[in-house]
Amino acid sequence: MTTHRPLACVILAAGKGTRMKSDMPKVLHRVAGRPMVGHVLAAVKALDPDHVVVVVGPGMDDVAAAVAPYPTAVQHEQRGTADAVHSAFGLLEGFSGDVVVLYGDTPLVTPDTLRAMVAARRQASDPAVVVLGMRPDDPAAYGRLILNARGGLEKIVEYLDATEDERKVGLCNAGLMAFDGARMFDLINRIGNANAKGEYYLTDVVQIARGDGMTCAVVEAAPAEVVGVNSRAELAEVEKLIQRRLRKAAMDNGATLTDPDTVTFSFDTKLGRDVIVGPHVVFAPGVVVGDRVEIKSFTHLEQVRIESGAQIGPYARLRPGAEIGPDVHIGNFVEVKNARIEAGAKVNHLTYIGDARVGAKANVGAGTITCNYDGYNKSLTDIGAGAFIGSNSSLVAPVKIGDGAIIGAGSVITTDVEADTLAVARGRQQAYSGWAKRFRERKQNEKAKKA
């Protein structure tokens, strides 16, 4: 029987992100519809840790709110990564399990990689520190991980301090670390700041551990998984990488993307089997799509539920609260907000449905709008099953259209319509024979006299 070994995770999120040139803390910038630190927390949560501590800077109440209910520790001065970890010590007092240190601006790290780091920390060689490494195509100015003859980590060498041979090493430091908590506190307390910036660098912990005869180890991750964000350009690069991951997952799970590179997903998009997604479709957060749904090109969806067999778009906009029933047709230039469209109903052209129910197999004609807002309050439009709403109709809420009722095209409906009733609300058509010809002749004569 294996005994449970406690696990804690410390997420460093105190960076100001000055290169982002933003009033918003760096870790709150969104990737695939979620703040970067939210992605890191999701990866951490998959490990079911006993403790999670997020290190923030002074006044970062918005970050603290975003990571709640996890506790935060404040790094009062920006004095390096080791100082940031040290800020969390008060919330980890007496902890002697394993501790994983992550960064709130590295949103692509996966639970599998974190599990591999924890497993390496717990291996028989009992390393005091496990460092996450990577092998980028261009090692550039990354710190190098130098291994000893036994394959253990001997030291981390910053690029500027590396020898020519050390710079040829392709294994680079990705920043994340796993510690034996029983030894971590002492090791980090001994890190000094005798360097050009006067900062306390977490990477120095390896040298201290090795100097005490402790072993250190390396776990490797794909470079794309450990890309950090320090600028808007890097944020865009990370967005590109996560979209590639989300598109692959969607296709692996049975969806067809006819032009994958043009589809934008959110972190929580859920697609059923045999869903077809056309080009330039945007899934904002909160979208759930059932089986056999087709979403045509240039459609935007947010906080929407779509049931099986529905057809959406092209050029449709489904806003928060839209519930699209089975086999519904939502066509081009149709906007639906906070409305339930029931089974088999059709809303095919140039229509706005807001704060409404459209009953099963109802047909809403082109140019129809639900007038749901009077400048002060939103009101409900209820369209019964099998009703037919003629083109260019305005339904002034609150109003109820009964089952099977027909609304004549161009009507403005302000009172309830009973089931199976025809309602027409428009001016009576008048015809004046020859009037158009006489009008043209008169105008031509007037123009000729002026000339």
The residues pairing with 264 across neighbouring beta strands, listed in sequence order, are 282
Q: Tell me, what's the pLDDT at 2?
A: 56
Mean pLDDT value across residues 239-264: 98
Consecutive H or E run containing 155: strand 153-157
Average pLDDT over residues 218-235: 96
pTM summary value: 0.92
Which has more confidence, 124 or 3? 124
- Confidence band for 308, pLDDT divided at 50, 70 and 90: very high
251 and 269 in contact (C-beta within 8 Å)? no
The domains of the chain, with CATH numbers, are 7-226 (3.90.550.10), 252-423 (2.160.10.10)
- Out of 29, 86, 329, 349, the active site residue is 349
Q: What is the DSSP annotation of 266-283?
A: -TT-EE-TT-EE-TT-EE
Quote the CA–CA distance of 289 and 201 in Å, as a whole number. Answer: 47
Measured between alpha carbons, how far is 62 from 28 in angstroms, rounded to an integer? 9
For residue 407, give the 3-state DSSP assignment. Answer: strand
Q: What percent of the chain has pLDDT over 90?
A: 92
pLDDT over 90 (residue 317):
yes
In the numeric block, the tokens 């004549």 are attached to 408
pLDDT in tens, 51-94: 999 999 999 999 999 999 999 999 999 899 999 999 999 999 99
Look at residue 1 and tell me whether its pLDDT is greater than 50: no
**% residues pLDDT > 70 (the chain):** 100
Average pLDDT over every residue of 30-39:
98
Q: Is the pLDDT of residue 160 over 90?
A: no
Instruction: Give the mean model confidence (pLDDT) for residues 145-160.
Output: 92
Residue 338 has pLDDT above 60, yes or no: yes
**What pLDDT is recorded for position 286?**
98
Question: Catalytic site residue 39?
Answer: no
- pLDDT surpassing 50 at residue 125: yes
Give the mean model confidence (pLDDT) for residues 236-263: 98
Mean pLDDT computed over every residue of the chain: 96
pLDDT at 451 over 90: no
Q: Is 33 left (phi over 0), alpha (psi -120 to 50) or beta?
A: left
